[in-house]
Structure 1
Amino acid sequence: MSVNIDHLSIDELVELNHHIIERLKMLESLDAHKSMMQFHPGARVSFDSPQGERLSGTIMKFNRKTVTVVTDNGRRWNVSPHLLAPIKDMRVGAVVDIGSKKTK
């Protein structure tokens, strides 16, 4: 796609720039919302801290572009939803049948 903007005045270029920025913000917001829809408050998630440490915690609330997560050590983080990974809910003490086969 090629758009010729050579004929636009400064005022027109500034106006076009404002429209582009607003459109980009809207698309970013829609993308964040779509990512958030994978989760719900109370869900267990994990993510990497800026230092590279893998943290896990519970989603407390949704913000406009981020999700507030309280980690297991009690610290609050506002994390972009696309950086979160769900943690499967494993019940403590649950017995898992691994399908052992006995031969006769």
Structure 2
Amino acid sequence: MPVDIDHLTYDELVALNHRIVERLKFLETMHAHKAMMTFDVGARVSFASSRDGRLTGTLVKFNRKTVTVLTDDNRQWRVPPAMLSPIKDVETGTTIMPHDDNRSE
């Protein structure tokens, strides 16, 4: 969708930029909200940390753009909901090994 902005003044371009940024923030918030609604408070979840590997815990709170997860080692993490994976029937402290379809048997 081409938009001709060549005729806009500096002030009009700044105003357009503000509207675009606000729209992008709104869409990001809606995306995060939609991802959050796939979980419930109290749900068992897992997520990957670059420092600590795969962690498991319980979702304890919905924030504006993230959720708060209390991990099995009693640490609180604010995690984007898109990074969460639901887990079921996993006892506290049990390590979850990701499934690797490329492993040789």
Runs of 4+ more than 6 Å apart: none
Counterpart CA distance in 2 for 1:10 and 1:56 is 50
Length-normalised TM-score, structure 1:
0.84
- 1:57-101 Cα deviation digits (max 9, x unpaired): 00000000000001000000000000000001358xxxxxxxxxx
Gaps of 5+ in 1: 92-104
Which residue in 2 is equivalent to 1:24? 24
- 1:1-32 Cα deviation digits (max 9, x unpaired): 11110100000000000000000000000000
Which residue in 2 is equivalent to 1:8? 8
Q: Which has the larger radius of gyration?
A: 1
Q: Number of paired residues?
A: 91
Which residue in 2 is equivalent to 1:98? none
Which residue in 2 is equivalent to 1:57? 57
Counterpart CA distance in 1 for 2:30 and 2:46 is 22
Which residue in 2 is equivalent to 1:45? 45
Length-normalised TM-score, structure 2:
0.83
Gaps of 5+ in 2: 92-105
**C-alpha spacing 1:71/1:39, structure 2 compared with 1 (3 Å):** same
Once structures 1 and 2 are overlaid, which stretch shifts more, 24-33 or 81-90? 81-90
The one-letter amino acid paired with 1:31 is: H
